[in-house]
A and B are shown apart, each in its own frame.
Chain A
């Protein structure tokens, strides 16, 4: 899962930027793009909070905020959500609010999805509402994709 990405610096571009020095928060606004190797997150608003252990948590919000990355095998994974939180030290990506993750031929939707880059595990949680569900859609491979059958007889 883009392991090489974590060795790269994180670059942030945005139109506006200000620092709340006392609370150790950096705020970026308007056309925010976070990039780290092949990982990129686009959002309207980003807060980078420095914790006491000097690590940073990046919390991006947008309508929606969009995450994209290239897996180790080169295939793309993308996701969108109202809030995308990226914990650099724990290598956790938490998406919440109308979450939709698309990877190869599958789509997962839910209220909150947590992806652990270190263990490469994805946990999808439904919302508090009883009717909320986690939905996973596996798209069947198209016939033309199968190698052993001639496409036209």
Chain B
């Protein structure tokens, strides 16, 4: 009798412990006391509303002497000031470094212009020289970062450079638009068809 009697309080304590654990787990799992924000907010996602969306907008940036330095146009621009981002659809970026220097035009399907003045372009990018007798006609790649402040261009993707009667293929490109130099990070092959009559 005594064993049974002494064991009853132990069972009761055990039952209490299990109950408390169950209730705590339930609270943690369902969180009934949670605030009424929806789930997304709790996981840190909160949709940022654009400040404005513009169609056919052109942004012109002038140099210290009033000359047009850069021009960014796009079919559609969506600006998010909290994160300093402007998303561009079908952007066209034009840069002329000095009044009679070469003019480069860069087009892409998609672009993002950041507060630090870097422009990231994606998909079907064509960088075209608008100057007449230029050495390089165009550059093609799939991803390009343009630092519009120090006027440098960079990618680590495959690149095709098309010049008058030559083409150069490589991977990765660094271009200094001010010094007018282009370097392929890894050169694959260059073909000159200048003197020859047969195209490659």
Interface residues of A (CB under 8 A from B): 6-22, 24, 26, 28, 36, 48, 50, 54-56, 88-89
Contact = CB atoms under 8 A, between A and B. Distances in A.
B168 interface: yes
B183 A18 contact: yes
- Most chain B C-beta atoms within 10 Å of own C-beta, residue among A9, A12, A48, A56: A9
Identify the 10 closest CB pairs spanning chains A and B, nearest first: A17-B187, A18-B183, A88-B195, A10-B192, A21-B180, A24-B135, A22-B180, A9-B200, A12-B190, A19-B182
Interface string B175-200: 00001111110110111111111111
A11 to B, nearest CB: 5
A40 to B, nearest CB: 14
Given A12-B190, A13-B189, A16-B184, A21 B196 contact: no
Contacts, number: 94
Contact of B198 (A8, A16, A22, A50): A8
Contacts of B170: 17
B180 A10 contact: no
B161 interface: yes
B13 to A, nearest CB: 78
Interface bin, chain B: 20 to 34
Given A14-B187, A21-B180, A26-B168, 14 more contacts: A7-B198, A9-B196, A9-B199, A10-B195, A12-B191, A15-B187, A17-B170, A17-B190, A19-B135, A19-B161, A21-B134, A26-B163, A28-B190, A50-B164
7 contacts: A7-B198, A9-B196, A12-B192, A18-B181, A54-B165, A54-B194, A88-B195
A18 B184 contact: yes
B102 interface: yes
B128 interface: no
A18 B194 CA distance: 19
A36 B191 CA distance: 10
Contacts of A8: 196, 198
A22 to B, nearest CB: 4
Contacts of A11: 189-192, 200
